[in-house]
């Protein structure tokens, strides 16, 4: 997450501590992400958008 979404490592650690798994992070809402220390509204939206793009790319790569 830190390299792909360009997040500081401390923020990534906070997100992982809060959600524990990638599946839970993917299901988190913007509001859920904002509850994480260091994640504000714009960063939460950027995380959701970035993870959505990664998921789409992964799916497209799998079936291309």
Every domain of the chain and the residues it spans:
9-63
What's this model's pTM, rounded to 2 decimal places?
Answer: 0.81
Point out the least confidently predicted range of 3-7, 26-30, 45-49.
3-7
Cα separation, 13 vs 64, in Å, equals: 33
> How far is 42 from 57, CA to CA, in rounded Å?
22
For the domain made up of 9-63, give the CATH fold: DNA polymerase; domain 1 (1.10.150)
pLDDT at 21: 94
Question: Which has the closest alpha carbon to 6: 59, 37, 46?
Answer: 46
For the cut 80, the answer to whether the pLDDT of residue 63 exceeds it is no
């Amino acid at each position: 997450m830190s390299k792909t979404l360009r997040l500081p490592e401390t923020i990534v650690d906070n997100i992982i501590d809060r959600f524990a798994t990638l599946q839970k992070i993917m299901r988190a809402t913007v509001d859920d992400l904002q509850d994480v220390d260091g994640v504000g509204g714009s960063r939460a939206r950027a995380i959701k958008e970035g993870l959505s793009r990664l998921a789409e790319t992964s799916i497209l790569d799998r079936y291309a």
